[in-house]
Chain A
């Protein structure tokens, strides 16, 4: 079972992540889980001395999530993966593939979502 989970909101994603970095945590990855038609869970996983800590963000599918790649550069790859597979947009990505990391440009589907297709790109 997962322990050490802290719930966060869209407003404090970057702040909480920056706090993890200051505390010396290594970035492990993100896991995205579709909850229902309108929301997803994004889990941010961090590790320090073999102890995992997680931030859980329950976010609406249609609003962009602030990217943590300015804090943890390594996150750009998994955030691009989530953009491709779930259609969730990340704002402020260090490198934005614009949903072409795995998919072709013309693909509009979100293969890992059962319910809905997200097309819009967030404003800069």
Chain B
């Protein structure tokens, strides 16, 4: 049978960001998929040469809006390790609270986009409606909705007042109730099942060998979550990774849905244990040496390699974002699938192109 090559993206209705896939098809079945990038590459790592190590927090926060706080936390953790700074307990718990708020709004954003990828507009709107409450919490506590800019080297720059704590808990109760109302639709609706079950299947062995991370890996039965490392205050609260075993788009959807509810629980635990005390310690001196910092973003493990030589500018800052690690999954999942399944499978890894292209 003759082969057809179809360009998917960089501008496509289901893609919020530009990425291109060169799809080779026989009839309507995909035989090969080759990704192409470079439409929004910014070279932010290079800025480490002209911005000092404090200013780089602002840069890494802008690698990706959706997980900006988690990028900053990972970077600050690395620099703190190099400089031998011990972050105050209250700051560590605040990092858990804000990073889990980011995870909730990222997963709700994804659930909406995922529903949109198979034409379920009302589910898309419901997910984004709930997400607004989380953004309101971010705005009330930090002054910003997305790039909240709360991390500094040595701790946090913002605090959460007791009045805000009570209000956050009541808002989270509403968010939890509304998310649970969507559970029947997301988990059992005919449209969702028809478009996601058995699509883009990856076994645990495949996922591990491809170096996948985050919900894409955990949906294939591998219990790997960087929060198990116990960074920030995750070592002081109860945490178990969410794992599914089917390895298809439906399993990835279930992992993210369950993680949304889990994050609410983690925030409650962190608030219950939130200690009194100072927010930050002063960062004296300059970093020197090599360090690796890893944390769990909504899309998976983010990896920072930092090399410093005692000057105000870092010698090298390297960021491996989770989508960069998950792109090879597409090359394994797409062959053998129908062209009409491409949007669902591509969206199932929760692609963040601004992260990938840094």
Known: A28-B320, A50-B229. A74 touches B38 (CB 8 A): no
Question: How many A-B contacts if CB must be within 8 Å?
Answer: 76
Asked if B307 contacts A74 (CB within 8 A), the reply is: no
Residues in A with CB closer than 8 Å to B210 are: 73-74
Q: Is A101 an interface residue (CB 8 A)?
A: yes
A45 to B303, CA, bound (A): 10
Residues in A with CB closer than 8 Å to B229 are: 50
Asked if A29 contacts B289 (CB within 8 A), the reply is: no
A1 to B287, CA, bound (A): 11
Residues in B with CB closer than 8 Å to A43 are: 305
Q: Is A12 an interface residue (CB 8 A)?
A: no
Asked if B289 contacts A1 (CB within 8 A), the reply is: yes
Q: Is B324 an interface residue (CB 8 A)?
A: yes
**Option from A31, A78, A103 in Cβ contact (under 8 Å) with B316:** A31
Asked if A78 contacts B307 (CB within 8 A), the reply is: no
Residues in A with CB closer than 8 Å to B325 are: 28-29, 74
Known: A2-B291, A74-B210. A29 touches B303 (CB 8 A): yes
Residues in B with CB closer than 8 Å to A100 are: 38
Residues in A with CB closer than 8 Å to B315 are: 33
Asked if B34 contacts A2 (CB within 8 A), the reply is: no
Residues in B with CB closer than 8 Å to A111 are: 43, 46
Residues in A with CB closer than 8 Å to B289 are: 1
Which residues of B approach A to under 8 Å, CB–CB? 34, 36-38, 41, 43, 45-46, 49, 81-82, 208-211, 224, 226, 228-229, 289-292, 301, 303, 305, 307, 315-316, 318, 320, 324-325, 327-328, 331, 357
Some 15 contacts from A to B, beta carbons below 8 A apart, are: A27-B211, A29-B320, A32-B318, A33-B315, A52-B292, A72-B209, A73-B328, A74-B325, A74-B328, A101-B36, A101-B38, A102-B37, A103-B38, A111-B46, A114-B49
Which residues of A approach B to under 8 Å, CB–CB? 1-2, 21, 26-29, 31-34, 43, 45, 50, 52, 72-74, 76-78, 85, 95, 97, 100-104, 111-112, 114
